Amino acid sequence: MKVKRSASKTLTYTVLIIMVLVCVAPLLIILMNSFKGKLFISDDLFAFLTPQSFVGGANYVSGVTKMNFVGAFGTSLFVTVASVILIVFLCSMTAWYLVRVKNKFTSVLFYLFVFAMIVPFQMVMFTMSWVSNRLSLGNPVGILVLYLGFGAGLSVFIFTGFLKSIPIDIEEAAIIDGCTPMQVFFKVVFPIMRPTIITVAILDVMWIWNDYLLPLIVLDTGYTTLPIAIQKIFTGGYGAVDMGGLMAMLVLSIIPIIIFYLAAQKHIIEGVVAGAVKG
């Protein structure tokens, strides 16, 4: 009995550990290689770090100096943060309106958002780049409009799903307590939506921070986000690729997202539990 139990436990843990390794391996390989010398990287990408191959922070220094890391990081940070704030505020308000105001117009609007969610980016890529050109959206502020547009579908969909579960009584109580519609939203509805807002924010932060194609297509020369900058410098025309620098810059670009995820994760779990208890 006891033996059987520990055997099945061992099996469970083995499977779990393998799964974790599969997920974490790419990250670890990049991290490892970011400390290896150039030759060692091209020699064997998967070899473990050894004292011989270790070059300290050299790759980081060369990477940061070769590309305008600070500039690209700043652009990425601005675009990501601003887009996510826009998406979260505007989409949650839109969703609230769609849920609370029931008529033909709002139901058509809702289906448009759902439709926008399922249309693949590649399908609208060319028309979009044309439009963005015409409207001069090829800069870090203009691109926010595009991100808002592409993010709205899924965000509105998720928000409406959650808002339907909030009893309207709570909002009516707030109206009687003296809230204006704006206050009902910001003092009552928005705080209640917090777990969902954090979920949407995480999804959007990861997508926008890592997005390569959209900024590549629309951004005018002179503006680069991190993924573009990394790609441009290190696989650019001139001869040998600086694999070490590439790895180092990848590590640096992942760090903010990991920090953000760890910080936000607690709130997601909290939200899920609160919902379960309320039942």
Partner 1 sequence: MASISLQHIVKVYSGGVTAVNDFNLEIKSEEFIVLVGPSGCGKSTVLRMIAGLEEITGGELYIGERLVNEVSPKDRDIAMVFQTYALYPHMTVYKNMAFSLELKKMPKDEIDLRVREAARVLDIEHLLTRKPKALSGGQRQRVALGRAMVRNPAVFLLDEPLSNLDAKLRASMRTELIKLHGRLGTTFVYVTHDQTEAMTMGDRIVVMKDGLVQQVDTPQNLYDMPCNVFVAGFIGSPQMNILKGVLHRNTDDAAGADGKSYVEIGEDKLYLPPEKCSNALLAFAQRDVFVGIRSEDLHDDEAFLAENPNAVITAKVDVAELMGSEVYLYLQYRETSLTARVAPNTTSRIGDTVKIGIDVSKIHLFDALSERNILI
Least separation in angstroms between CB 96 and partner 1: 16
Residue window 228-267: x/- pattern of binding to partner 1, with contact defined by CB under 8 A:
----------------------------------------
Q: How many residues does the chain have?
A: 279
Cα dihedral sign, 146-150-153-154: negative
- Total of residues contacting partner 1 (CB under 8 A): 20
**Residue 147, C-beta contacts closer than 8 angstroms, at least 6 positions apart:** 79, 83, 86, 87, 208, 214
Least separation in angstroms between CB 180 and partner 1: 9
Nearer to partner 1, 76 or 199 (CB): 199
How far, CA to CA in Å, does 14 sit from each of 3, 17, 22, 27, 278?
Answer: 16, 5, 12, 20, 36
Burial of residue 14, with CB atoms counted within 10 A of its CB: 0-12 exposed, 13-18 middle, 19 or more buried: exposed
Nearer to partner 1, 38 or 100 (CB): 100
- Distance, first Cα to last Cα, the chain: 38
Rounded CA separation 272/162 (Å)? 12
Least separation in angstroms between CB 103 and partner 1: 9
Least separation in angstroms between CB 197 and partner 1: 12
Residue 47 binding partner 1, by CB under 8 A: no
Nearer to partner 1, 168 or 263 (CB): 168
Least separation in angstroms between CB 101 and partner 1: 12
Nearer to partner 1, 183 or 231 (CB): 183
Burial of residue 241, with CB atoms counted within 10 A of its CB: 0-12 exposed, 13-18 middle, 19 or more buried: middle
Copy the structure tokens of residue 228. Answer: 């573009």
Rounded CA separation 89/269 (Å)? 22
Q: Which of 157, 146, 164 is nearest to 113 (CA)?
A: 157
Least separation in angstroms between CB 219 and partner 1: 39
**Residue 32, C-beta contacts closer than 8 angstroms, at least 6 positions apart:** 48, 49
Least separation in angstroms between CB 158 and partner 1: 19
Q: Which of 65, 15, 8 is nearest to 244 (CA)?
A: 65
| 188-227: contacts with partner 1 (CB under 8 A) | 188, 191-192, 194
| 139-198: contacts with partner 1 (CB under 8 A) | 167, 169-170, 172-179, 183, 187-188, 191-192, 194
Nearer to partner 1, 17 or 272 (CB): 272
Nearer to partner 1, 191 or 236 (CB): 191
| 84-123: contacts with partner 1 (CB under 8 A) | none
**Residue 213, C-beta contacts closer than 8 angstroms, at least 6 positions apart:** 121, 125
Least separation in angstroms between CB 188 and partner 1: 6
Question: Could you list the residues that contact partner 1 (CB under 8 A)?
Answer: 167, 169-170, 172-179, 183, 187-188, 191-192, 194, 274, 277-278
